[in-house]
Structure 1
Amino acid sequence: MGLDRLGSIAAFVKVAEQGSFAAAGRALRISPSAVSKSVLRLEDRLGVRLFQRTTRSLSLTEDGETFLARCSTILAEIEQAEREMRERAAKPSGLLRIEMPTALGRLKIVPELGRLTARHPQLRITATFADTLTDPIAARLDAIVRIGFPRDERMMVRRVGTIRYIVCAAPAYIAAHGVPQSLEELDRHDCIQRLPQDGDCVASWWFRNAENGEAFQRPVTGTMTFNNNDAVVEAGLAGAGLVQLHTYMAEPHLKSGTLVQVLDAYAVDGPPISVLFPSARQLSPKVRAFIEFVSEILAR
């Protein structure tokens, strides 16, 4: 149905409701002649007369009454659809498809998601996990949580937090090897290294310069290297050596005492945590709610 056809139907219904072209024109904010021409075009297209016109009165024909009943129902359904869309725009609802880094999502976001759905009962969530880049458009994702500096011109980026690097060890390791007091002492410690999934060189550790506060990298050595964050954590818990972790990975173990933070003065902020979502003129309520929620979690 073309826009002109829908407009002429709306004009016809308004004339039937108001009883005159002049009143319909005032209601539609167009001239009476424009209303009359629109109804005439509709009658020509249908091949029937919808109104019986005299110099003093305007009344529906039998065909007009039949057509009015159908058109009134159609326009009411359109108005209902618009109301539903406005309501959806006002509060988070529907299916939210998200993707998160495995460790960050499992440890920090997933345990809290129940509060988000309790806050917005009409919201449903489907979450996937990936530590490598995903094409959000092809995957039909509403939002992606990423660590680092993502570059995708098709996506908008909202920063929601910051990674922090800390060095930890199990109490058993400290009892056997002591607490390192400086970065130079790392050379005589067994440091559990991480191999990035997209690289073949072990990752250096990040530290804060005690004098100027700037971040810098320092290579470390050790007897074990893993390409999986969970394996690095498990080796650290077993007392196999020092580990450098993101704070969200270490947090539950620091609370339980199974890991102890060392070299506190050298802990440093790392890359940002961001939520990416497809570029659009308006941010959907469900994505906005998710961004605010993740920001709230990471702020704590």
Structure 2
Amino acid sequence: MDRLTAMQAYVRVVEAGTFTKAADSLGLPKATVTRLIQTLETHLRTKLLNRTTRRVTVTPDGAAYYERATRLLSDLEELEGSMNQARVTPRGRIRIDVPGVVGREMIIPHLPDFYAKYPDIQIELGVSDRTVDLISDNIDCVIRGGELTDQSLVARRIAEFRFITCATPEYLRRHGTPAHPRELGEAPHRMVGYFSARSGKVLPDVFRRGEEAVEIVGNHVLAVNDASAYLNAGLAHLGLVQLTCFMAAPLIRSGGLVRVLEDWDAEPVPVYVVYPPNRHLSSKLRVFVDWVVELIGREAMGGLKLRCTTA
């Protein structure tokens, strides 16, 4: 038995929750993974996993073995990295997941600069607003906006997105320019709604002016759950939208959008890079995270002329 391969397979099964997902992430047949685990259990003379038709769970011995195995594999990866060129020239595959607008508007346009420095890193970039399971989906890290609820994950706050309220000139011609956020809750004004993919509820829009705060679910004829669709709905004159400064700035400069309610600040959103617990931060992942932290911090300040700084 290749004990190292068996150990890696076992760790992946525990993290993925099923033999099928573990086999897919390892690039091995499911039968091979099953055989590795069975051989490992025979070698250790103990049962590591309880198997059902839908999911596997760890036994007490399996939990103890998983904890030690992840530590050993992490130490091994770090040792190998220190003994070869990976520290000088990081190489290999990393799996990243980011919100749609961050991937399309920030990361992808600047990836040629990243590859000019690190040509041997292969990135698998998930770009969507859906919530992924870092452990079972075998994701190295994700970029997330908003306060985090899963306290088991390791998070690093990297930026803050500032938002402004905008509408197209055509919308303002048809409906007029609002003077106060409360006008957005009733006709003739309307907002483009944004609903949570998790709860299905339309999220409220929050406005602040000094100590005064207004929270409303705007009058809307359309609600979406994707940032690009939200922007496109605003550009189609379907309502006012609250956009990040980096999205709004070029459209305001070109005349496609007009900023309204300038005395009112929309609620800022913190941005985090998030890692699974017990996941070793390899050199290839470290250089990507350092690059993306600097990039997002710089791009988030892209609306300086719109008074969207975090200062």
Length-normalised TM-score, structure 1: 0.64
1:219 aligns with 2:213: no
Amino acid at match of 1:200: G
Query: How many residue pairs get matched?
Result: 218
CA offset digits 1:237-261 (Å, max 9, x no partner): 1222212223344344233321112
Is the radius of gyration larger for structure 1 or structure 2? 1
Distance 2:277 2:88 in 1: 19
Equivalent residues of 1:162, 1:269 under 8 A apart: no
Q: Tell me the CA shift for residue 297 of structure 1.
A: 1.8
**From 211, 229, 232, the counterpart of 2:230:** 232
Which digits, 9 at most, give the CA deviation of each residue in 1:108-164, with x for residues without a partner?
A: 111112211111222221111232321212222221111123344553211121122
Deviation at 1:179, TM superposition (A): 2.1
Percent identical residues: 33
Counterparts of 2:297 and 2:112, CA distance in 1: 18
Q: In the aligned structure 2, how far is the partner of 1:110 from the partner of 1:128? A: 11
Change beyond 3 A, Cα 1:207–1:276: same
Residues 165, 268 of structure 1: 8 Å contact kept? yes
- Secondary structure, counterpart of 1:118 in structure 2: helix
**Do the aligned partners of residues 86 and 150 (structure 1) sit closer, same or farther apart at CA in structure 2, a change above 3 Å counting?**
farther
2:115 match: 117
Please report the TM-score for the alignment, with normalisation by the length of structure 2: 0.62
The aligned counterpart of 1:202 is 202
Q: Is the 8 A contact 1:160 1:291 kept in 2?
A: no
- Residue 193 of structure 1, CA deviation: 1.5
Alignment CA distance shift 1:199-1:252 (3 Å)? farther
In structure 1, runs of 5+ residues without a counterpart are 1-80
Q: Which residue identity does 2:242 align to in structure 1?
A: Q
Deviation at 1:100, TM superposition (A): 0.8
Q: 1:245 — aligned with what? A: 243
Partner Cα distance (1:88, 1:245) in 2: 40
Q: For 2:183, which of 182, 185, 191 is the aligned residue? A: 185
Residue of structure 1 equivalent to 2:52: none
Q: Structure 2: which 5+ residue stretches go unaligned? A: 1-78, 299-311
In structure 2, the partner of 1:168 is 166
Query: Residue by residue, what CA displacement relative to the aligned partner does 1:45-79 show, whole Å, maximum 9, x if unpaired?
Result: xxxxxxxxxxxxxxxxxxxxxxxxxxxxxxxxxxx
Task: Check 1:216–1:104 CA distance in 2 against 1; reply closer, same or farther (3 A cut).
Answer: farther
Contact in 1 for aligned 2:165/2:266 (Cα 8 Å): no
